[in-house]
Amino acid sequence: MTNLEKSLNKKGRRKNSVAILGAMFGDEGKGRITDELTEYFLNKKRFKNVIVYRDNGGANAGHTISHDGKKIGLHQIGSGILHKGCYVVLGKGMVIHPSDLLEEIEEIKQVFEFKELPANLMIDEMAVLSTDLHRAFEYALKNSSSKSLGSAAATGRGIAPAYADVVYRFPLRIRDLYKRDWKVYFIEQYNRYSKWINGLGFEMKDIKIQRYKGREYKVGSCDKYIKDLERCRKLLKPYVFNMYDFIFKNWNSDTPFIFEKAQGIGLDSRWGLYPDVSASNCSLDGITYSTEGIVNANDISARFGVIKSTYTSSVGKRVLPTAMEEKYATVIRDEAHEYGTTTGRPRDIAYMDLVMLEYFCKMGGIEELVFTHMDIVWDSAVKVCTKYKIKDKVVGYRPDQEYIDSVKPVYKEFKVWNIENLKNLRSTKKLSKEVTKFLDFYSEYTNTSSVMITYGPDRHDTLFI
């Protein structure tokens, strides 16, 4: 039995269920792994369907899938969408921007020349709406106070304000779009956000936000806002469902489930490097919430943490202790196209930090590692941080930038492997000594097992371990 099969069939767990988590700061390759695992399950004749379930984040995610020379960055839609037989569920824990979602559906059809989406897309009617008003409010917040410590984390996609609405007890959920008197709620929302934005010194109708692919868009008047929602609610209607019975029935059958998380544990609001964190729950337990407890996340058999094997990347203000010297970082950035899928921002490049990884695995509930980007190595050794020191004392990670600024990384070097050899392997039985040593060190350090290696961005540039 392979490690992958073992992970999917753990004793006492729900078989053929797997969570795909970002184990560092996002952009590790979760999308392509989800896409490939969807195919893996569907290739087994005994499964007619697979469910790919997203439980967190929204249009701030960017999950790339590449196939047959075609490539797309998915934002709100789960990465099983290219497969017939797959149900892609956008869960209650997500925040959904309706018009961006419609554009994403159209882009998938266009890039892959589909008349209809191959997978079935289902939106939980309980998912929270993230609207243009949230983006406008985020803009006003960000621009009214340059001193706000966390504002750098904002992607301008209105994610945090949409989640905040729930805590304020003013949320608007997808189902509210379909109430008979729906306009009343949305006009009230427009008026409330206009007042808040006025208080910050801006006018709602003048604010330019970013819509799909960063296109500038003026929110404009309340009338314009309602008209746009009127269009979206009609077009989205076929995808909106009460998901409870569907999830209940399938979780209690043998349908494979892939829970595709967005962002990474390093961005989780509790475990990430405060204050530059994301608003959503990036760890395993978010799945329990999103499914209203139908899926107890502790029952999920495999819990994959995806990492870029030989380095880590990060977008935002956070400063990683292992930040790479710019002359090396540039090489990696170009070789691995390290520019944000959603924002296009150049990503910061750092050496892999096992101290963080070990903590993120523990807090994120990760039990297996997926090693992507095994093709990105440089001529000399692969340098990996294995310890932090403050003065001469060995210390651990804490989710706090001010603390992290005071630690000094200590590195270990690994011999590089031959990439061409790795690419030509058909099975992991013949992995080179260098690769095996590298994988084993990570697994031992983080108390996980290794299940997959990827050595290129395309579907099938993969070895199952």
Residues forming the site for Mg ion (CB under 5 A): 27, 62, 341
Between residues 91 and 457, which has the closer beta carbon with respect to ligand GDP? 457
Closest CA to 122 of 162, 159, 158, 92: 92
Which of residues 38, 130, 288, 372 is near ligand GDP by CB under 6 A? 372
Nearer to ligand GDP (CB atom), residue 31 or residue 321: 31
Q: How far is the CB of 243 from ligand GDP (least distance, A)?
A: 23
x/- string (CB under 6 A) for ligand GDP, residues 266-295?
------------------------------
Q: Is 68 a catalytic residue?
A: no
Distances (CA, A) of 46 to 51, 258, 375: 15, 17, 34
Instruction: Find the shortest distance in angstroms from Cβ 24 to ligand GDP.
Output: 10
Among 29, 93, 161, 316, binds ligand GDP (CB under 6 A): 29
Helix (H) or strand (E) holding 371: strand 368-372
Taking Cα atoms as reference points, which of 198, 137, 145, 123 lies closest to residue 168? 137
- How far apart are CB 235 and Mg ion at their closest, in Å? 26
Q: Are 136 and 170 in contact (CB under 8 A)?
A: no
Q: Which does 375 bind (CB under 5 to 8 A by kind): Mg ion, ligand GDP, none?
A: ligand GDP
Rounded Cα gap, residues 130 and 123, in angstroms: 14
Q: Least distance to ligand GDP from the beta carbon of 309, Å? A: 8
Any contact of residue 35 with ligand GDP (CB under 6 A)? no
Please report whether residue 160 would count as binding ligand GDP according to CB under 6 A.
no
Structure tokens at 431: 């992995």
> Is 63 tagged catalytic?
yes
Residue 124 partner contact from ligand GDP, Mg ion, none using kind-dependent CB cut-offs of 5 to 8 Å? none
Q: Is 375 in the site for ligand GDP (CB under 6 A)?
A: yes
> Measured between alpha carbons, how far is 231 from 132 in angstroms, rounded to an integer?
14
Site for ligand GDP in 425-454 (CB under 6 A): 454
Q: Which does 97 bind (CB under 5 to 8 A by kind): Mg ion, ligand GDP, none?
A: none
Cα Rg, the chain, nearest whole Å: 22
Q: Is 28 in the site for ligand GDP (CB under 6 A)?
A: yes
- Cα–Cα distance measured from residue 53 to residue 51, given in angstroms and rounded to the nearest whole number: 6
Measure CA 407 to chain center. Answer: 28
User: Between residues 62 and 93, which has the closer beta carbon with respect to Mg ion?
Assistant: 62
- Helices 222-236 and 98-111 sit at what angle, rounded to 10 degrees? 50
Q: Of 28 and 132, which has the nearer Cβ to ligand GDP? A: 28
State the minimum distance, in angstroms, from the CB of residue 304 to Mg ion. Answer: 16
Q: How far is the CB of 158 from Mg ion (least distance, A)?
A: 18
Q: Does 321 bind ligand GDP (CB under 6 A)?
A: no
The answer to whether 40 and 141 have CB atoms below 8 angstroms apart is no
Q: DSSP for 377-440?
A: --SSPEEEEEEEEETTEEE---S-HHHHTT-EEEEEEE----HHHHHH-SSGGG--HHHHHHHH
User: Phi first, then psi: what are they for 428, rounded to 5°?
Assistant: -80, -5
Comparing every residue's Cβ against ligand GDP, the nearest one is 64
- DSSP bridge partners of 464: 452
Q: Which of 3, 64, 428, 448 binds ligand GDP (CB under 6 A)?
A: 64
Binding residue count for ligand GDP, defined by CB under 6 A: 24
Q: Which is nearer to Mg ion, 269 or 341 (CB)?
A: 341
**Residue 312 binding ligand GDP, by CB under 6 A:** no
Query: Facing residues of 17 across strands?
Result: 257
The neighbour count for residue 376, using CB atoms within 10 Å, is 19
Of the two residues 315 and 320, which places its CB atom closer to ligand GDP in the complex? Answer: 315
Residue among 58 and 409 whose Cβ is closer to Mg ion: 58
Q: Dump the DSSP string for 112-171.
A: TT-SS-SSEEEEETTSEE--HHHHHHHHHHHHH-TT-TTGGG--SS-HHHHHHHHHHT--
Looking at 35, 63, 348, 373, which residue is catalytic?
A: 63
Return residues touching ligand GDP (CB under 6 A).
22, 26-32, 62-64, 66, 336-337, 341, 372-373, 375-376, 454-457, 461
As annotated, the active-site residues are: 27, 63
